[in-house]
Amino acid sequence: MVQKRVLEPAKVEIDEYGEINFTYKPIYEPVKKGRPIISSFEFAIERNILKRTYVDTTSYAVMENGMDEEKLTESIIINLGITKLEAWDIINIAKRKGYIKPDSNIEKLAEIVKYCMEQKPVKPTNYILKILENGFAESRANKKER
């Protein structure tokens, strides 16, 4: 009954509205006679980057009201699911390479974050740092769509 009344409805709702995916399987306890009893459940939970938009509300606030490094850091952490230290590394290299301009323009960095989220790399920080070091040029297919 727990599966039918609790886990399945929760899974459907989380899959529809949440930022995670989970699967579960029952763990059966052997009995001497009759059908085995479910003694517990084993869960596998993973974050689903596809369900998030590439620019959350914090990013819009940063773009509209000028750059606040804390808000920018928070936005990158939320969008990529990385640590604060990794976000700082991205911001520092983006500043050094000119992707963040003194006039608070972060649109180039936002494009890179969006591109990274579309590519779904295993290590988003390394992926973005490599793009920042080598330069960023959108693929021709993306440019034709515009």
**What proportions of the chain, in percent to the nearest 5, are helix, strand and coil?**
55, 15, 30
- At 28 the three-state DSSP class reads strand
HEC-encoded secondary structure of 60-85: HHHHHHCCCHHHHHHHHHHHHCCCHH
pLDDT digits (tens, 9 = 90+) for 25-70: 999 998 888 888 888 999 988 876 555 544 555 555 555 555 567 7
**pTM summary value:** 0.50
How crowded is residue 20: how many other Cβ atoms within 10 Å of its Cβ? 11
Is-contact 128 88, C-beta < 8 A? no
**Out of 56-60, 83-87, 98-102, least confident range:** 56-60
- For the record, the structure tokens of 139 come out as 């693929």
Domain boundaries, the chain: 2-50, 54-145
- For the record, the structure tokens of 111 come out as 């494009």
